[in-house]
Structure 1
Amino acid sequence: MTTGPRVSIVVPVFDTDPGYLSEALASALAQTVPVDVVLVDDCSTSPATVAALEEIAATTSARLLRHEVNRGPGLALNTGIEALDTDYVFAMGSDDRVEPTYAALATEVLDERDDVSIVTTDIQCFGASDAVDSASGAPNGLVDMLFYNVVPGISVFRRRDWVEVGGFGDLRWFEDYDFWLRVLALGGVTVTLDAIQYHYRIHAAQATATTTWEDKLAQQLEIVRRNPDVWAAHLDVVMERLWRQQVELNYFTKRYGRINDVKKQAIDLVLALRARLRGHVRRG
């Protein structure tokens, strides 16, 4: 019977505020079941971050691994997972917080249901926002992932699936979407826990706040290029979605196009009237 940790938490770190980092690690180490915690320093340049990591490694049970060059979050996760040998794994943001029951609840689901590949949770934001992000997940498997990533990157998955799909890719953004697609292509589904188990810090310095839409689109297209079989296998679903959206677009274009014509006529009338009034004033 296994008596050691069955869940690992991998925390990629790059120049994280030491205060945020301490909060994150405290919550990771406070799980109600034994866990292995590994920090992967992705070549931080901040002396304060480096010092905080060394302090954590010296005073807690968390292990510290380092990259000599910055390789991105996906490859940092691979480095951490390679050093582990637990049944289940999840990634944690170095500036976030996790509920103490997350590992236990996810383990219970994964132990009981072989058809479940990923366990996820709704996310409570904190910091600059207190919104709740609902994780619809992929209860129907891969088909739920064709258009959007509906599985948060902090979800719990089976290490054996990570091995089978070859780990995370080298994408700088959306590395989790690419990974989930390949995992769910193995045939599993996801389950979303009833209670919120993760807290996501919103602040101006995080990568998601500084990424442009052009960059995000480029990464999404790269994911499609890397996984063409996913969309090819569901071409009927993709085309039906495209056609339905085209019908809706045509409907709204016709309906609101008339409204726009009326608005344009009203604006032109106001501009003409204003021009006439200005001319009248000047002549007076």
Structure 2
Amino acid sequence: MPPPAASGRVSIVIPCFNDGAFVGEAVQSALNQTTPAADVIVVDDGSTDPGTLEALERLPGGVAVHRQPNRGLPAARNAGIARTRGDYILPLDSDDRISPDYVELATAVLDERPEVGIVGGGIELFGIQESRRRPTYDGVAGMLFENHLYTCSLTRRADWEAVGGYPEQARFAEDWIYWLRILGLGREVHLLDETVWFYRQREGQMTRSMDSRTASNAVIQAMRDQPELYAAHMAEVTDYLELKMQTLDGFRRRYGRLNDALARIRPLLGRQA
């Protein structure tokens, strides 16, 4: 069991796999908070890159490093959270950064509003692509079939424990399923006006956008994980399925006509040969 919480309220967990070029920046942004975190832990998820191993050895004092065999991102987050002591949890990817006031702003919300279970804010993309974005949230129904929240959001340790943490069996959309688990507890979402997360864009980066097939599989995973939540919104589920059926029927009609045309053309091509 982790020790009792220190003066800080937030634990910052940074999973790292062969990301030594950037993990120092992520850690420094975690340490530069106007309200210090209870603890900062880096989870080395089986890194094999010598540069990463050296970078982890050079991290500032006071930053804990937990090493484990490669188990994937959700398992790394859970392992790190289990070793922290804060009342609130902030996951930070090892190539990203957070603003100096993120912990202070989010802690104030969670302290004052016990009904809130997720706190996020504005996002700035940097690197090979630069832009600013804001997450949106208009209720649980809007989250059932598309994830509108982002990785670097704060949650309560008590809620993480209540829902069993991040879904370690998920191959993708683990954040989305985790948010749905918390929303299933009846929690609310608060989005800060300030830009608090700096999301690095780089070559070779695993995309966080999903094609239609992957998105559909993610919905199936989420429905299997949270059947009661989806059952409570059966009208929205029915509308979603009807829209999917209409789309499928449209493809069938379109490609059916194409197949008919090809069937008529093939004999003519054979005569010309």
TM-score (norm 2): 0.82
> Which structure features the higher share of strand residues?
2
1:173 and 1:216 in contact (8 A); partners too: no
Change in 2 beyond 3 A, CA 1:240/1:213: closer
Deviation per residue, 1:137-191 (Å, 9 max, x gap): 3x53x22311111111110010000011111111232111111111110001101
Task: Name the SS of the counterpart of 1:196 in structure 2.
Answer: strand
Match of residue 141 from structure 2: 143
Match of residue 86 from structure 1: 86
The structure 1 segments of at least 4 consecutive aligned residues displaced by more than 3 Å after TM superposition are 209-220, 240-247
Match of residue 113 from structure 1: 113
Supply the AA of the counterpart residue of 2:180. L
Match of residue 162 from structure 2: 164
| Farther off after superposition, 29-38 or 2-11 | 2-11
2:144 and 2:219 in contact (8 A); partners too: no
Distance 1:245 1:227 in 2: 20
Answering whether residue 11 of structure 2 is matched by residue 13 of structure 1, we say no
Equivalent residue pairs, number: 248
Shift of 1:210: 10
Change in 2 beyond 3 A, CA 1:220/1:143: closer
TM-score (norm 1): 0.79
Match of residue 63 from structure 2: 62
Shift of 1:204: 1.9
Change in 2 beyond 3 A, CA 1:12/1:107: same
> Which structure features the higher share of helix residues?
1
2:16 and 2:43 in contact (8 A); partners too: yes
Distance 2:190 2:43 in 1: 28
Consecutive unaligned residues in structure 2, runs of 5 or more: 255-273
Supply the AA of the counterpart residue of 1:146. L
Consecutive unaligned residues in structure 1, runs of 5 or more: 258-284
Shift of 1:209: 6.6
1:21 and 1:94 in contact (8 A); partners too: yes
Distance 1:239 1:210 in 2: 25
Sequence identity of aligned pairs in percent? 37
User: Alignment RMSD, CA only?
Assistant: 2.7
Task: Name the SS of the counterpart of 1:81 in structure 2.
Answer: helix
Task: Name the SS of the counterpart of 1:194 in structure 2.
Answer: strand
Distance 1:148 1:163 in 2: 24
Supply the AA of the counterpart residue of 2:58. E
